[in-house]
């Protein structure tokens, strides 16, 4: 593997920086929307929960990229991680399991 692959320390650092930037942009969307619309009403707790969930997602994906060796196993594990994240996010947003 070359030195910028995701399994190298430099690749992990790049992934973390990109993921942190994406989290900041995702959390900025409702903050900006609240300035223009009364329909979006997030409190500080909402931002904390969303930030925590996104941080856990990033840690999960980073762990998969570090410890899974084959591409198929990485893809499957990342897919399951994303599915779990989306199900939790949807449940907290609208209560799909009620």
User: What pLDDT score does 72 carry?
Assistant: 93
Predicted structure pTM score: 0.79
DSSP 17-86: HHHHHHHHHHHHHHHHHHHH-SS----HHHHHHHHHHHHHHHHHHHHHHHH--SHHHHHHHHHHHHHHHH
**pLDDT over 90 percentage in the chain:** 59
Q: pLDDT of 52-61, one tens digit each?
A: 999 999 999 8
What pLDDT is stored for residue 8 in this prediction?
57
Six-digit token string for 21: 């930037």
Chain CA centroid to CA 84, Å? 11
pLDDT digits 0-9 by tens, 35-54: 999 898 999 999 999 999 99
């Amino acid at each position: 593997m070359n030195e910028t692959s995701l399994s190298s320390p430099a690749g992990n650092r790049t992934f973390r920086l990109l993921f942190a930037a994406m989290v900041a942009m995702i959390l900025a969307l409702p903050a900006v929307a609240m300035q223009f619309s009364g329909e979006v009403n997030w409190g500080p707790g909402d931002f904390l929960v969303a930030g925590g969930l996104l941080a856990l997602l990033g840690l999960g994906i980073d762990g998969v990229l570090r410890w899974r060796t084959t591409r198929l196993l990485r893809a499957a594990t990342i897919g399951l991680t994303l599915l779990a994240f989306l199900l939790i996010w949807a449940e907290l947003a609208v209560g799909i399991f009620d």
